[in-house]
A and B are shown apart, each in its own frame.
Chain A
Amino acid sequence: MTAFERFTDAFFNTEVLATYWPVIAKGVVVTCQLAAAVVVCGIAMGMALAIVRSYRFKAINFLIVCFADILRALPPLVLILLLYFGLPNVGFNLSGFLAVWLVLTLVLAAFTEEIVWAGILSVNKGQWQAARSTGLSFTQTLIYVILPQAVRLTVPPLTNRTIAITKNTALGTVVGVGEILNEATTAQAFSGNASPLMLGAIAYVMLFVPIVYFGRWIENRFAWKRA
């Protein structure tokens, strides 16, 4: 065997790939489900928190800030292990999928809250005054005048943050979630061949390259709009 043949045999072995690609495909589905659940719930929760925060109740805002700070300062893997291994001992059995979903949702919510809140603050004060002067209530002003402008400012940073957090679905492998990486490493162990892992890596790249491009497109588009 030449060096090249040895290389392809180890990393792109067609036989191994033919056996294991369905498992990886199953992993892709799980990764997508997990990612979608995290994105929807995390952004919704973060927006809700930012809206609540704009009412400026002292005690509630203190709690929101604490939540956002802690979730932004902690590595998600620490929280995942804490929930996954810690909770069963006090009577809650949490599946790996739920643990990862919960942690990533909370982390995304924390970042979303901070980004949207910064966006709300950045809207000119005159907008509040103009809207209030026509009789719109605080909540109406927030919904119809402030948030549409705030969200526009937050789209680029929010997109980038969402992509970064979505990639963390790979952490599911540590607590046995059957996502791409987990299926790939398991298949690698069974087959004694690196091809499934390569296939998994390629699956990730194929999933995320379009999203990274989408993020960059959003960034350029909104940067242009603001100018």
Chain B
Amino acid sequence: MSYGMLEVLKGIDLSVAQRELVFIIGPSGSGKSTLLRCCNRLEDPNAGTIIVDGDEVTARRVDLNKLRQRIGMVFQQFNLYPHLTARANVTLALRKVRGLSRRDADETADAALDRVGLIDKAQSYPAELSGGQQQRVAIARALALEPKIMLFDEPTSALDPELVGDVLTVMRELKDAGMTMLVVSHEMRFARSAADRVIFMDKGVIVEEGPPTRLFKRPKQKRTRDFLRQVEH
């Protein structure tokens, strides 16, 4: 994938290989989330191109809804549909976009819920689930559409510390199963152990990138060093 945008994001050139987990860090307002949102065009970049799985997302005539099924997204605030059960949250797009029958959709949904370890909560409503469980349902919702890439927008930032682990475990399992992932997060320890590459962004540009061991131990840029020192304290 390659990007190139103005204003919030400037001259970003990034490609993510298959099965790669790219981790994006940076201070708030650095454009990390905007970068993710551009990938499935929840935000429209006013210039530049984004290519996902061979298709140009930014092309003027593109079936966005079809494309978005191949790009899973997980949000900081979960954004589960409060009026639907966990299972129905997952089946909605399967039935209405993919056109699966109710039975097939339920089957697919249950498989996805099973993957995140929540099959026994299929009939629960979001309000009856803990934050960590809600986020795992949200992951299942994206996963059920069999995406080629998953975007994680600060998936654990809204969670109580003791609930973060479950979500990270699911993400780790995804990685091990070969999912391509683009993760914006502050979980440095997770980055160290799971990421193939870490990107540090500030003020809309990529300041530095590299494998986690190198970037965390020996950052080249002063801005990266300052940021890491702040985060570690």
**Do A and B touch directly, given a CB cutoff of 8 Å in the complex?**
yes
Say which residue of B71, B79, B83, B141 sits within 8 Å of A152 (CB atoms): B83
Given A130-B75, A145-B81, A152-B83, A135 contacting B92 (CB threshold 8 A): no
Q: Which residues of A contact B (CB under 8 A)?
A: 124, 126-127, 129-137, 140, 144-145, 148-149, 152
Prevailing SS type, chain A contact patch = helix
Min C-beta distance of B196 to chain A, whole Å: 24
The answer to whether B96 touches A144 (Cβ under 8 A) is yes
Q: Which residues of B contact A (CB under 8 A)?
A: 37, 40, 42, 65-69, 71-73, 75, 77-83, 92-93, 96-98, 138, 141-142, 145
Min C-beta distance of B63 to chain A, whole Å: 9
Given A127-B81, A149-B83, A133 contacting B71 (CB threshold 8 A): yes
The answer to whether B65 touches A133 (Cβ under 8 A) is no
The answer to whether B42 touches A135 (Cβ under 8 A) is no
The answer to whether B81 touches A135 (Cβ under 8 A) is no
Min C-beta distance of A131 to chain B, whole Å: 8
Given A140-B96, A144-B92, A135 contacting B68 (CB threshold 8 A): yes
Min C-beta distance of B224 to chain A, whole Å: 30
Question: Which residues of the partner chain A approach B98 to less than 8 Å between Cβ atoms?
Answer: 135
Given A130-B80, A133-B71, A145 contacting B93 (CB threshold 8 A): no
Q: Give me 5 A-to-B residue pairs in the complex whose CB atoms sit less than 8 angstroms apart, sorted by A's number.
A: A129-B75, A130-B81, A134-B141, A144-B96, A149-B81
Min C-beta distance of A56 to chain B, whole Å: 16
Kindly state the separation between the CA atoms of A124 and B98 in the bound complex, as whole angstroms.
25
Say which residue of A132, A140, A144 sits within 8 Å of B42 (CB atoms): A132
Kindly state the separation between the CA atoms of A227 and B125 in the bound complex, as whole angstroms.
15
The answer to whether B83 touches A126 (Cβ under 8 A) is no
Question: Which residues of the partner chain B approach A140 to less than 8 Å between Cβ atoms?
Answer: 96-97
Q: A134-B68, A134-B69 are in contact. List 11 more A-B contacts (CB 8 A).
A: A127-B81, A129-B37, A129-B75, A130-B80, A131-B81, A133-B42, A133-B72, A134-B92, A134-B97, A135-B66, A145-B81
